[in-house]
Amino acid sequence: MLEVSGLKKSFGKKAVLHGIDFQAGKGRIVGLVGKNGAGKTTIFHSILNFLDYEGEIRLDGEAISQQTYEKIGYLPEERSLMPKLTVYNQVHYLASLKGLSTSYIKEQLPLWMAKLQVKGNPTDKIKSLSKGNQQKIQLMITLMHQPDLIILDEPFSGLDPVNTELLKQVIFEEKKRGATIIFSDHVMTNVEELCDDILMIRDGEVVVSGTIEDVRNSYGKTRIFVASDKSQEELEALPHVVKASRTKKGTWRLVIDDEAAGPALFDLLTQGQYVATFDQQAPTIDEIFKLESGVAL
Q: Is residue 53 part of a domain?
A: yes
Which tens digits make up the pLDDT trace of 55-73?
Answer: 999 999 989 887 788 899 9
- The pLDDT score that the predictor gives to residue 70 is 85
Segment 27-53 shows an average pLDDT of 93
Q: Domains in the chain: how many in total?
A: 2
Say whether both 206 and 259 belong to one domain: no
- The pLDDT score that the predictor gives to residue 296 is 60
Segment 203-223 shows an average pLDDT of 95
φ, ψ dihedrals at 7, nearest 5°: -70, 120
Which has the higher per-residue pLDDT, 182 or 64? Answer: 182
Residue 81 has pLDDT above 80, yes or no: yes
pLDDT band at 120 (very low <50, low <70, confident <90, very high): confident
- The pLDDT score that the predictor gives to residue 157 is 83
Q: Is residue 287 part of a domain?
A: no
- The pLDDT score that the predictor gives to residue 131 is 87
Say whether both 74 and 205 belong to one domain: yes
Query: Are 282 and 221 contacting, i.e. CB atoms less than 8 angstroms apart?
Result: yes
Segment 160-183 shows an average pLDDT of 95
The rounded mean pLDDT for the chain is: 93
Say whether both 233 and 88 belong to one domain: no
Question: In percent, how much of the chain has pLDDT > 70?
Answer: 99
Residue 158 has pLDDT above 90, yes or no: no
Segment 95-121 shows an average pLDDT of 92
- The pLDDT score that the predictor gives to residue 80 is 80
The answer to pTM > 0.85 is: yes
Query: Cα(127)–Cα(272) distance, rounded to whole angstroms?
Result: 65
- Domain containing 98 — which CATH number? 3.40.50.300
Q: Is residue 297 part of a domain?
A: no
Say whether both 152 and 69 belong to one domain: yes
Say whether both 146 and 229 belong to one domain: no
Say whether both 162 and 263 belong to one domain: no
Which tens digits make up the pLDDT trace of 254-290?
Answer: 999 999 999 999 999 999 899 999 999 999 999 999 9
pLDDT band at 79 (very low <50, low <70, confident <90, very high): confident
Which structural domain, as residue segments, surrounds residue 238? 220-281
Give the chain as a DSSP string: -EEEEEEEEEETTEEEEEEEEEEE-TT-EEEEE-STTSSHHHHHHHHTT-S--EEEEEETTEE--GGGGGGEEEE-SS----TTSBHHHHHHHHHHHTT--HHHHHHHHHHHHHHTT-SS-TTSBGGGS-HHHHHHHHHHHHHTT--SEEEEESTTTT--HHHHHHHHHHHHHHHHHT-EEEEE-S-HHHHHHH-SEEEEEETTEEEEEEEHHHHHHHT-S-EEEE-----HHHHHTSTTEEEEEE-TTS-EEEEES-GGGHHHHHHHHHTTS--S-EEEEPPPHHHHHHHHTT---
Segment 225-236 shows an average pLDDT of 94
Domain final residue pick, 159, 180, 211: 211
Say whether both 189 and 71 belong to one domain: yes
Q: Is residue 294 part of a domain?
A: no
